[in-house]
Amino acid sequence: MPDAIQVNDEKRIVHIRLRPLWAYVDGIREFARFFCSTTFDEGVADRAQLVIHEMLENAVKYSSRESDEVELAIRSDGGSIDITVANQPTPDSLELLRSEFASLSERDAETAYVEAMSRATQLPSGVSRLGLARIRFEGRFELSLTEEKDGRIRVTASGKI
Amino acid sequence: MSTNGIASIGTFEADNLRIVAESPNKVVMSGTITAREPMKTVQPFIEKIHAAAIGAGIKELTVDIRSLTFVNSSAIRVLINWVMLVKGESGPRRYKLQFVTSRAVTWQRTSLPTLQSLAPDVVVLSS
């Protein structure tokens, strides 16, 4: 089980800390979707589950060690929703992430997703690199990347409700 | 052309996903695809369907995904591969992929039209 799940319905906040294990990803998506559907409308809950799944998948796939901690936080002020996932990435995956963010910043959400799908056909089997572009286009969330001094990163997706 | 079409392929089930070759030219996919590597599990079954569709001389294959409620990006890649497999065929081996979608399912509203843009002569969307 994840180490800690804290839910504050009044402030519409969820904070989950977990080890980067694949087995947790889908269960947390389902929990987060349920939480969001009790707080927001179904459309927002649908978009949020996509964002949470893709961001957690990335954090689990690209964390340095299984002993590292991944954090998921969902916050809402009523008009918008912020979803943040923090983890300790491997050096290679951090470089890739920086490159993806640079590429996304130069394109609108639709163009970036079409290009990402087209690019996917050229990538090795099993690699999609669609997640971030999908969050922007399908989820209608904007993304930001924060690098901390200790090597941890925070990816935040912000969307209107 | 086989009268069974793809129906002899049968059913694929894994985790929350079910794929049924329901009739000679229709596949129904339901559930969710959230596996880490659907390329290793789902993709081989898709390739079987593809080979059977070509073997049966099918001109249009209906893929009903209305009850496929959630997929991860790796699963989108599997769908992209399917479309590109068909696009790589020519003459009588080429068939159309008609995806039956639901407007109520978020990922289908956005990702399917984008998928169609990769191969508009292969992918047909209906709801």
Select the residue from B84, B114, B117, B118 to test the A interface by mutation, using most A Cβ atoms within 10 A.
Answer: B114
Q: Looking at the domain assignment, is residue B2 inside a domain?
A: no
* Averaged pLDDT, groups of 10, chain B, 127 residues long: 76 95 94 94 95 95 97 96 96 95 94 95 95
B51: containing domain: 7-126
Task: Answer whether B95's CB lies under 8 Å from B53's CB.
Answer: yes
CA distance A143 to A104: 9
Total domains, chain A: 1
B53-90 pLDDT, tens digit each = 999 999 999 999 999 999 999 999 999 999 999 999 99
Q: What is the CATH number of the domain that holds A110?
A: 3.30.565.10
Verify whether the Cβ–Cβ distance A53 to B70 is below 8 Å.
Answer: yes
Q: What is the CATH number of the domain that holds B101?
A: 3.30.750.24
Q: Looking at the domain assignment, is residue B66 inside a domain?
A: yes
Q: Looking at the domain assignment, is residue B53 inside a domain?
A: yes
C-alpha triplet B20, B16, A70: angle, nearest 5°: 145
A79: containing domain: 4-160
CA distance B106 to A32: 16
Nearest to A47 among B106, B114, B115 (CB): B106
Mean pLDDT, chain A, whole residue set: 90
Total domains, chain B: 1
Closest CA to A32 of B70, B42, B30: B70
Q: What ipTM was predicted for this assembly? A: 0.90
Verify whether the Cβ–Cβ distance A114 to B76 is below 8 Å.
Answer: no
Task: Answer whether B46's CB lies under 8 Å from B61's CB.
Answer: no
State yes or no: pLDDT of A31 exceeds 60: yes
CA distance A31 to B119: 36
- Write down the pLDDT at residue A1: 59
